[in-house]
Structure 1
Amino acid sequence: MSTPSRFDRGHTDDLMSFLAASPSPYHAVANAAARLEKAGFQQVRETDAWDASTGGKYVLRGGAIIAWYVPEGAAAHTPFRIVGAHTDSPNLRVKPLPDTGAYGWRQIAVEVYGGTLLNTWLDRDLGLAGRLTLRDGSHVLVNVDRALLRVPQLAIHLDRSANDGLKLDRQKHLQPIWGLGDVAEGDLIRFLEQEAGLAEGEVTGWDLMVHSIEPPSYLGRDKELLAGPRMDNLISVHAGAAALAASASSELSYIPVLAAFDHEENGSQADTGADGPLLGTVLERSVFARGGTYEDKARAFAGTVCLSSDTGHAIHPNYAERHDPTHHPRANGGPILKVNVNQRYATDGSGRAVFAAACERAGVPWQHFVSNNAMPCGTTIGPITAARHGIQTVDIGVAILSMHSARELCGADDPYLLANALLSFLQG
């Protein structure tokens, strides 16, 4: 018999707040950490010695967070149950020399990050957010969440063929406007110092990106849909944090983990990415802090399972031919199990059984996703996690439309259905 679902539409309401408050990976991990701290989790620093204490802990590094809960009586060889996700989304990011412009327009020099749908950034009111690095090496988060920037599209009168196939040059056509007048070197950073209440010249480094300031909202006659930014993949980060906080219990036979990485959208090859050593190092240190040996670590990893949770494609009513003809994931149909025999996703039959059991216990419906054979298939942190750590990994997620747009769309029930499935999985 299935257990009652713990999360309901209130989870989706909280997701909307999380999306709005997380315009950058740095904000996303800070907000996830705040939710975990309310559940009793405590930050541990990588530079400190770790002890064998039980309870909830987390590590922050840049735009990544690894959090875990050690129940009472956990042995050194106790396996982990991991929810994997990523915090970054495709967007436009500020260059090292940001101040530019021409013909009396002041602009910001940006670089395209990840595989974003370029046209979705046109004629949209944009804010600016990210992380400022100070002279002493500390960091300050900044979020200018108002209409600050705009990438203006060329008028139809000057490009009569625009509706027949818009072509955007990534270098020339995407530099946003933010004012009038002469270009002044250092102007943007001085402005952000004022916004953050810092002294002029205190900022020596920055990681900044633009974001749409339009808030998330329910959509449709019956509000059964949810529109918002950065759903890929903050839906999974939010659901994973909620599931980990709710799973914290001394009755667990596994150690539940949330691993939310940065830089998935450009290959995961970073110290905060899934292809870096962060997850393996944290798990090893947890084993060793509890008195474990290399043998204990090998035993723990051999029994570990990871659900790599990322968004997938819901069937598009206007482009059904782009999807597999027999696999049609639908909005509000529950989380999807993602399969690709060429290992673009890590799911196999054994992983399918793990996910199916978790959904059955939670009373959550679920669906299959596989790509059309004639279309290239995307990938996730799943195959990277499986190959790098030798951990059984299963790829899942929420089906959405407009993936990699500045504003995406999903079923309003799917976020809490995902959270319930993750909670069931973490509880084992």
Structure 2
Amino acid sequence: MSEPHRFDRGHTDDLVSFLTASPSPYHAVASAAERLEKAGFRQVAETDAWDGTTGGRYVLRGGAIVAWYVPEGAVPHTPFRIVGAHTDSPNLRVKPLPDTGAHGWRQVAVEIYGGPLLNSWLDRDLGLAGRLTLRNGSTRLVNVDRPLLRVPQLAIHLDRSVSGEGLKLDKQRHVTPIWGLGGDVRDGDLIAFLEETAGLPAGEVTGWDLMTHSVEPPAYLGRDKELLAGPRMDNLLSVHAAVAALTAVSSGGADLPYIPVLAAFDHEENGSQSDTGADGPLLGSVLERSVFARGGSFEDRARAFAGTVCLSSDTGHAVHPNYAERHDPTHHPRVNGGPILKVNVNNRYATDGSGRAVFAAACEKANVPFQSFVSNNSMPCGTTIGPITAARHGIKTVDIGVAILSMHSARELCGADDPYLLANSLVAFLEG
């Protein structure tokens, strides 16, 4: 336990910057890539031939990024140490025909992405961000990071039942944001506005992947500022920690026995079944090509995968003071208590006893406390990319994360110390 922490509260300050700069998965991977570039990593295209030389590389595909560092002395069958996470968060996403409205209000048609707490999106100032696809097939990131949209809640005077029966929202009728006034709603208005915002000629945009985000910045909270409130902690908190850990390991000059890897996927919130999701081929393709680029064979690939371990890092549930009965009575993870080890014997999480030992060793090396999480037996358990990674690639996988409150809200809450405690444990894990 002599290994000192590599990160402190400054890491959490940097997380605030990362969350602010990453209102969409596409912005998140661009932010991650910028940090990797500063640490000496270089982007490689999937369409190019790869070499097996030492150093850091990364692949971008849509809202996903995979980065790895080949240390001196790595051989074709050197195993990998992977930190897996996801870049997407539940929100409201713009439909193919976005322009709508009624009764003099201009509105934007949206779909519900993932499982958001819809009430948290009401009466909140929202921006719009994502990816624009141009006529030539290239893409352009766009971020309107100012109050642009709002989903107005119905006044209690017009629905007295809400105080007794609770709020009931129809996903089709009640969550369409307003963004202006005008009785003449014309197709193309929103996209024309975004073209102008992005400095593009009119009619240049032919496709889009756009989503809402809260424009209220992250903020420290509490008497002693021991809490952090902000958007998209599920799961950009883990992405940020993984990027920090990978760059620290790659610059530390350590004689690494493993090849450290960051794999941040898109579409975890709706099942991971896409070419950029954990259930797609991206991670396996990158790992295999890394083996083969170093002169390896299929036998080397099999040996490398057999010795590989992945930490699936995602947020989990801290015990809620107002709903403690919803938690397992003997497992009450607390914020600022260190990362959590997530266990479910029905494989909603991938952790087993041997995986627990791997994570416990990393936390001991980093001098970081950790906690255990298991769901109340009477409550359905969520899941992560962990079981998918284990089943798809035959890789030992352990589910971990940081305990938070208000998961899937437009604005979530964590302990201000937990982000850097997680990052420190990830460094120890990647170093082996």
TM-score under structure 2 length normalisation:
0.99
2 CA distance for matches of 1:387 and 1:232? Answer: 23
Q: Trace 1:218-257 onto structure 2 (pairs within 5 A).
A: 218-248=220-250, 249=253, 251-257=255-261
In the TM superposition, what is the alpha-carbon distance from 1:423 to its structure 2 partner?
Answer: 0.5
Following TM superposition, the consecutive aligned residue runs of length 4 or more in structure 1 with deviations greater than 2 angstroms are none
Aligned residue for 2:13? Answer: 13
* Residues 102-139 of structure 1: CA deviation (Å, up to 9, x unaligned): 01100000000001000000000000000000011111
Aligned residue for 1:386? Answer: 390
Query: Within the alignment, does 1:210 sit opposite 2:215 as a pair?
Result: no
2 CA distance for matches of 1:14 and 1:279? Answer: 27
* Residues 169-220 of structure 1: CA deviation (Å, up to 9, x unaligned): 0000000000000211100000000000000011000000000000000000
Q: Trace 1:68-147 onto structure 2 (pairs within 5 A).
A: 68-147=68-147
Query: Within the alignment, does 1:276 sit opposite 2:280 as a pair?
Result: yes
Aligned residue for 1:418? Answer: 422
Aligned residue for 2:30? Answer: 30
Aligned residue for 1:192? Answer: 194
Give the gaps of 5 or more residues in structure 2.
none
Superposed CA RMSD in Å reads: 0.5
1 CA distance for matches of 2:187 and 2:63? Answer: 28
2 CA distance for matches of 1:131 and 1:340? Answer: 36
* Residues 277-311 of structure 1: CA deviation (Å, up to 9, x unaligned): 00000000000000000000000000000000000
Q: Out of 309, 314, 318, which is 2:313 matched to? A: 309
Give the gaps of 5 or more residues in structure 1.
none
Helix, strand or coil: the match of 1:403? coil
2 CA distance for matches of 1:162 and 1:148? Answer: 27
Helix, strand or coil: the match of 2:171? coil
Helix, strand or coil: the match of 2:336? coil
Aligned residue for 1:168? Answer: 169
Q: Trace 1:354-369 onto structure 2 (pairs within 5 A).
A: 354-369=358-373
In the TM superposition, what is the alpha-carbon distance from 1:163 to its structure 2 partner?
Answer: 2.3
In the TM superposition, what is the alpha-carbon distance from 1:250 to its structure 2 partner?
Answer: 5.4
Helix, strand or coil: the match of 1:215? coil
Alpha carbons 1:105, 1:177 under 8 Å: kept = yes
In the TM superposition, what is the alpha-carbon distance from 1:247 to its structure 2 partner?
Answer: 0.5
2 CA distance for matches of 1:51 and 1:152? Answer: 54
Amino acid at match of 1:169: D
Alpha carbons 1:127, 1:144 under 8 Å: kept = yes
Aligned residue for 1:341? Answer: 345
Q: In the comparison of the two structures, how many residue pairs are matched?
A: 428
Identical residues among aligned pairs (%): 84
Helix, strand or coil: the match of 1:16? helix
2 CA distance for matches of 1:278 and 1:163? Answer: 48
In the TM superposition, what is the alpha-carbon distance from 1:2 to its structure 2 partner?
Answer: 2.8
In the TM superposition, what is the alpha-carbon distance from 1:95 to its structure 2 partner?
Answer: 0.2
TM-score under structure 1 length normalisation:
1.00
Helix, strand or coil: the match of 1:257? strand
Alpha carbons 1:72, 1:250 under 8 Å: kept = no
Helix, strand or coil: the match of 1:418? helix
Alpha carbons 1:239, 1:418 under 8 Å: kept = yes
Helix, strand or coil: the match of 2:85? strand
Amino acid at match of 1:191: F
Helix, strand or coil: the match of 1:31? helix
2 CA distance for matches of 1:345 and 1:136? Answer: 42
Amino acid at match of 1:107: Q
In the TM superposition, what is the alpha-carbon distance from 1:53 to its structure 2 partner?
Answer: 1.5
